[in-house]
Chains A and B, each alone.
Chain A
Amino acid sequence: MATQALLAVQNIEVIYDHVILVLKGVSLEVQQGQIVALLGANGAGKTTTLKAISCLLRAERGDVTKGEILYRGSRIDRLDPAALVKRGICQVMEGRHCFQHLTVEENLLTGAYTRGYIHSGVSEELEKVYAYFPRLKERRHAQAGYTSGGEQQMTAIGRALMARPQLILLDEPSMGLAPQLVEEIFNIVKDLNSKEGVSFLLAEQNTNMALHYADYGYILETGRVVMDGEASSLAQNEDVKEFYLGLSTAGRRS
């Protein structure tokens, strides 16, 4: 192996409830320091792929039945989520999933759970998160359930950062947010990527935005990868333009 990928998903198959086949052999790679976009329509299997990686599938009666998932060359598909967070993979779930009755700051602190008892490192980390998301500092004592959608998304990303991850699996960060806010969040993601060296695997429906910020992209359709390539070349691809970007150069084709 020439360069070892940070994350390598090799031909995985996922079955829910022992019968429902959702992923039919998905392979992808994330190199250290990359932002990789996972694109596709509703139900294509983006979220399932992310959950397979973060070991959250079993909590939903799903199971990886074939293939393997390697993180820095070692298998992780049989670990539990807590062990995975300790190794440096953290998922930000679709729909944000903040702890509604906890304050914003408490939400962030739960992210540091795997790092043991509160010591100086955690409060430094907290300041760092506040530096990236100044808005969260203002709202630190507000109950997360009463903050805006954008603030909740920031809380969710900040919470993941508290675990000092190498790789963040970010599921649909643009969901339900105003375009301006989406841009703000993507800019912060890019910042985190370039300054902190955090790699991202990003599931998005907002293909345009995702390809603009990502280095590499995979397109999923009904549980299979149908196309992959450099983000810039995907953005230029005619089929992608037509089916995912809503642009068409040669009129309508059937």
Chain B
Amino acid sequence: MSFFIEVVVGGLLAGVMYSLVALGFVLIYKASGVFNFAQGSLVFFAALTFVSLTERGWNFWLALLVTLIAMILVGIAIERTVLRPLVNQPPITLLMATIGLTFVLEGASQLMWGSQPHGLELGIPDVPIEWLSQKWNINISQFDLFGAFVAGVLVAVLALFFQKTRIGRALRAVADDHQAALAVGIPLQHIWAIVWAVAGFVALVAGVMWGVRNGVQYALTFTALKALPVLILGGFESIAGAIVGGLIIGAGEKLAEVYLGPYVGGGIESWFAYVIALLFLLVRPEGLFGEKIIDRV
């Protein structure tokens, strides 16, 4: 039993890490209807910038602050140079633009900071919590728990921002109806710039967490692909969906690996998420928490 709990909790905590990345997608999709393929490279860019600054002897908080400012500037620059000229274009054009953006960002970050992998250390060891393993024989990583805590705080902050602030309300308004938002005088360009900046901030958090876990290296950009099944499961427009989707995917793939794996020779973990997503697409294409289309008759 304790082994089962360990697998589930471990999976859930790993899932939180997926949620962190998925959140960035959700923000941008919600506000502008763009599937931002470049979110993964934003994560990479943020992590690489941060780690490179700390390796140059910068204070942790200073490095974090400077990286945050850099991410906000990148967000604003993307709005200016990529989105604004493409306004009113079909979604597929915007998707292609973000794919292009992926390569530009990847190239730029490696050009600036070099392409060798870095280790990242936050001072929270990735080891099992002692008293848990002694008392119940359950091994839960201290760092995973910390990751879950960070994700929780991030979601709470985002929820407050969306529900309680004037800008947050405007963001939701834009997500609902571009035209009406324009008509009441909400400047779309500002809103988009803000959303990209917030997505940059989320990418920074995700990048740092993933950087500690797997090291800061080019492969970080592929975390974005892990966020895809999370989004399909949770719904593209829902912050809650990103969290719940992440948890289900995380727990699902760990359970599958442990309990189904032996029958098919293992190695399920890396692709099982996509199977769940596919099944989900058949049943509920808008995702668990996808925005219900309100249709009054």
**A residues apposed to B, CB below 8 Å:** 54, 56, 59, 61, 80-82, 84-86, 90-93, 97-102, 106-107, 109-111, 113-114, 117-118, 143, 145-146, 149, 156, 159-160, 162-163
Contact indicator B183/A90 (Cβ below 8 Å): yes
Closest to B183 in A: A91
CB of B181 closer than 8 Å to a CB of A: yes
Q: Which residues of A contact B170 (CB under 8 A)?
A: 110, 113
- Tell which of A86, A93, A106, A146 touches B183, judged by Cβ atoms closer than 8 Å: A93
Contact indicator B185/A81 (Cβ below 8 Å): yes
- Smallest CB separation, A161 vs chain B (Å): 11
CB of B284 closer than 8 Å to a CB of A: no
Contact indicator A59/B185 (Cβ below 8 Å): no
CB of B176 closer than 8 Å to a CB of A: yes
Q: List 8 A-B contacts (CB under 8 A).
A: A59-B179, A97-B180, A106-B169, A110-B184, A113-B185, A113-B186, A114-B184, A145-B296
Distance, CA A149 to CA B296, complexed state (A): 9
Contact indicator A82/B172 (Cβ below 8 Å): no
- Smallest CB separation, A181 vs chain B (Å): 15
Q: B173-193 CB contact bits vs A (8 Å, 1 = yes)?
A: 101111111111111000000
Contact indicator A99/B187 (Cβ below 8 Å): no
CB of B282 closer than 8 Å to a CB of A: no
Contact indicator B185/A93 (Cβ below 8 Å): no
Closest to A89 in B: B185
- Tell which of B173, B178, B294, B296 touches A59, judged by Cβ atoms closer than 8 Å: B178
Report if A90-B177 is in contact (Cβ < 8 Å); known contacts: A101-B291, A113-B166, A113-B170.
no
Contact indicator B184/A56 (Cβ below 8 Å): no
- Smallest CB separation, B99 vs chain A (Å): 25
- Tell which of B88, B179, B187 touches A56, judged by Cβ atoms closer than 8 Å: B179
Distance, CA A162 to CA B183, complexed state (A): 12
- Give the one of A99, A114, A117 with max B CB within 10 A: A99
Distance, CA A149 to CA B294, complexed state (A): 13
Contact indicator A81/B182 (Cβ below 8 Å): yes
Report if A56-B181 is in contact (Cβ < 8 Å); known contacts: A101-B172, A102-B172.
no
Q: Which residues of B contact A159 (CB under 8 A)?
A: 184
Query: What size tier do the contact residues of chain B reach?
Result: 20 to 34
Distance, CA A56 to CA B183, complexed state (A): 7
Contact indicator A102/B185 (Cβ below 8 Å): no
- Tell which of A61, A110, A117, A160 touches B173, judged by Cβ atoms closer than 8 Å: A110
Distance, CA A229 to CA B187, complexed state (A): 37
Q: Which residues of A contact B172 (CB under 8 A)?
A: 99, 101-102, 106
8 closest cross-chain pairs (CB), A and B: A85-B185, A145-B294, A97-B180, A114-B185, A99-B176, A82-B187, A82-B185, A110-B173
Contact indicator A163/B177 (Cβ below 8 Å): no
Contact indicator A111/B184 (Cβ below 8 Å): yes
Q: Which residues of B contact A100 (CB under 8 A)?
A: 176-177, 294
Contact indicator A99/B173 (Cβ below 8 Å): yes
Contact indicator A110/B294 (Cβ below 8 Å): no
Closest to A162 in B: B184
Report if A163-B184 is in contact (Cβ < 8 Å); known contacts: A93-B179, A118-B166.
yes
Contact indicator A54/B177 (Cβ below 8 Å): no
Distance, CA A141 to CA B294, complexed state (A): 16
Task: Please report which residues of chain B, range 203-257, place their CB below 8 angstroms from some CB of chain A when the two chains form the complex.
Answer: none
- Smallest CB separation, B165 vs chain A (Å): 9
Contact indicator B294/A101 (Cβ below 8 Å): yes
Q: Which residues of B contact A82 (CB under 8 A)?
A: 182, 185-187
Contact indicator A102/B183 (Cβ below 8 Å): no
- Give the one of B166, B172, B175, B181 with max A CB within 10 A: B166
Distance, CA A97 to CA B291, complexed state (A): 17
- Give the one of B178, B180, B181, B184 with max A CB within 10 A: B184
Closest to A116 in B: B166
- Smallest CB separation, A156 vs chain B (Å): 8
Contact indicator B185/A61 (Cβ below 8 Å): no
Report if A54-B183 is in contact (Cβ < 8 Å); known contacts: A61-B88, A99-B176, A102-B169.
yes
Distance, CA A159 to CA B176, complexed state (A): 15
Closest to A58 in B: B88
Distance, CA A163 to CA B180, complexed state (A): 14
Distance, CA A163 to CA B181, complexed state (A): 13
Contact indicator B184/A85 (Cβ below 8 Å): yes
Q: Which residues of B contact A91 (CB under 8 A)?
A: 183
